[in-house]
Amino acid sequence: MSRGLKISAALVAVFTVVAAVILSTTGTTAEPDTTSAPGGSAAATAVVRPDSHRLSSAPQGSPVFVEFLDFECEACRAVYPAIEQLRAEYGDRISFVVRYFPLPGHFNAERAARAVEAAAQQGAFEQMYQRMYDTQADWGEQQVPKDALFRSFAADLRLDLAAFDAAYADPATAARVAADLADGQALGVQGTPSFFFDGRRFEPSTYQDLTDAFDAALD
Amino acid sequence: MPSTPPSTDTAAPAGTAAEPGQLGRLLPWLLLVAGLVGSLAAFVLTIEKLASAADSNYIPSCNLNPVLNCGSVMDTHQAQVFGFPNSLLGIAGFAVVAATGAGLLAGACFARWYWLGLQLGVTAAAIFVHWLIIQSLYVIGALCPYCMIVWAVTIPIFWYVTLRNLCAGTFGRPLRTSAPTTSGNHLVPVTMWFLIVAALVLHRFSAYWTTLV
């Protein structure tokens, strides 16, 4: 083996090790320290973050209902009308929080989350959130990027397109989505939709389960 | 004419000794293989482009995930900078590279003007490919696997043709030292070059890669 070949092989080896270390450590630091705080109030801090998006005007200290969702997930689309109805009924008394959980198997899920996040930066989180579900049948389950379609939603909402494009492509936007995903994974979320109510995992099977829990918390 | 030999390739003895040293054995094979691989990648890209032009719902074979995705790259204006798909340039250019390699293996001895022309071509290709790398990473935000094959062959083609021309005196005076070509030293810059591009790719999409871990 010649000297040049040895040097090259060494460079490749060092690079591989460094890259693997950096990738694996950033992967773990993105996850919050929930492992050291099982259940209770400490876990609640990871269920909702200060920058998490709220879909209601409930006052500070209201019970918090969190949904980890994927805009391309059909089950999320199926519960969406129920969530909208709950929001109409309880939105003034219960905080509705949305967290991104784009599943890797859904081709456009992460893009949709980025589009919603980019819209959120212009104060249009709710409108884009609704638009994604209203149009899911048009773009879901397809293996081609729907960037242009998502951009057209931003245009329909009369957003500043230059700012939208910049935010959509900004690694910080992707990181914001990834941070929600990492929080969800740390909380044990594996699929969507996954709900948390007042910091605890909540698995309603009927609409009644939800209203009962809300009523009980409000009493 | 003692003053002319250094500036002309044809002054080298005819036959297999036309290309000096280690590079002389490596270069023909590199040009042939990298040229064929590049041609093939450019050809497949062209086929994918034609298929998606004919059917807007066509899903290219290289759409693997949101980041590794040639569909979103092929649809951009950067993919047809000169008004036609870039891959057509690749089919023509890589064929010349492969033919040059095959010619060398067959014992051909190219004149200085040929090497200068090849240098011009591979330099333009290298500049273009690096512009495309920047566009793909920082503007389009997606990676196209076949395009990355083109990046991967263009870099060594440029490096080795340039090194060969430096050593053979195609640019005027031949390189005095043989250090860059002996004991495999020529591998080091090209390896570092690859690693820098790989580092940029890893860094740019680190948010995505970490979701796969």
Beta strand pairing call for A64-69 and A95-100: parallel
Give residue B40's pLDDT band: very low, low, confident or very high (50, 70, 90): very high
Kindly list the strands in the beta sheet with A194-197, ordered across the sheet, starting from the edge strand earlier in the chain. Answer: A53-54, A95-100, A64-69, A194-197, A200-202
Give residue A186's pLDDT band: very low, low, confident or very high (50, 70, 90): confident
Q: Is residue B74 a part of any domain in this protein?
A: yes
Give residue A169's domain range.
52-218
Q: Is residue B15 a part of any domain in this protein?
A: no
Q: Is residue A177 a part of any domain in this protein?
A: yes
Q: Is residue A149 a part of any domain in this protein?
A: yes
- Contacts of residue B201, defined as CB under 8 A and 6 or more positions apart, other chains included, come to B137, B143
Q: Which residue has the tokens 């030999």?
A: B5
Q: Cα Rg for chain B, rounded, in angstroms?
A: 19
Interchain CB distance below 8 Å, B207 and A175? yes
Q: Is residue A109 a part of any domain in this protein?
A: yes
Give residue B211's pLDDT band: very low, low, confident or very high (50, 70, 90): low
Q: Is residue B202 a part of any domain in this protein?
A: yes
Instruction: Give residue A211's identity as a one-letter amino acid code.
Output: T
Q: Is residue B172 a part of any domain in this protein?
A: yes
Chain B residue nearest residue A182, CA to CA: B211
Q: Is the pLDDT assigned to residue A27 strictly greater than 70?
A: no
Angle at B72 between CA A160 and CA A110, to 5 degrees: 65
Angle at B43 between CA B41 and CA B49, to 5 degrees: 105
Q: Is residue A5 a part of any domain in this protein?
A: no
* Token couple for A147: 């960037």
Q: Is residue B10 a part of any domain in this protein?
A: no
Q: What is the CATH number of the domain that holds A145?
A: 3.40.30.10
Chain A nearest-CA distance from B13, in A, is 28
Q: Please write the tens of the pLDDT for every residue from B81-130.
A: 888 889 999 999 999 999 999 999 999 999 999 999 999 999 999 999 99
Give residue B163's domain range.
20-212
Q: Is residue B57 a part of any domain in this protein?
A: yes
Q: Is residue B64 a part of any domain in this protein?
A: yes
Q: Is the pLDDT assigned to residue A31 strictly greater than 80?
A: no
* Token couple for B175: 């390189």
Picking from B1-5, B75-79, B80-84, which range would have the lowest pLDDT averaged per residue? B1-5
**Which residues of B lie closer than 8 Å to A, measured between beta carbons?**
57, 59, 63, 65-66, 69, 71-72, 139, 141-142, 183-188, 191-192, 195, 198-199, 202, 204, 206-213
Q: What is the CATH number of the domain that holds B83?
A: 1.20.1440.130
Higher pLDDT among residues B120 and B54, named by residue: B120
Q: Is the pLDDT assigned to residue B51 strictly greater than 90?
A: no
Start-to-end C-alpha separation, chain B: 66
Select the residue of B63, B183, B206 nearest A4 (Cβ to Cβ): B183
Q: Is residue A2 a part of any domain in this protein?
A: no
Q: Is residue B203 a part of any domain in this protein?
A: yes
A176 in B contact zone (CB under 8 Å) = no
Angle at B144 between CA B92 and CA B123, to 5 degrees: 40
- Contacts of residue B118, defined as CB under 8 A and 6 or more positions apart, other chains included, come to B96, B97, B100, B110, B161
Q: Is the pLDDT assigned to residue B7 strictly greater than 60?
A: no
Higher pLDDT among residues B30 and B70, named by residue: B30
- Contacts of residue B77, defined as CB under 8 A and 6 or more positions apart, other chains included, come to none
Interchain CB distance below 8 Å, B204 and A171? yes
Quote the pLDDT of residue A47. 85
CA distance B97 to B118: 8
CA distance B92 to B80: 15
Q: Is residue A7 a part of any domain in this protein?
A: no
Interchain CB distance below 8 Å, A145 and B69? yes
Quote the pLDDT of residue A39. 39
Number of domains in chain A: 1
Quote the pLDDT of residue A189. 87
Q: Is residue A31 a part of any domain in this protein?
A: no
CA distance A127 to A176: 19
Residues 78-137 on A with a CB inside 8 Å of B are 104, 107-108, 110-111
Q: Is residue A100 a part of any domain in this protein?
A: yes
Number of domains in chain B: 1
A17 in B contact zone (CB under 8 Å) = no
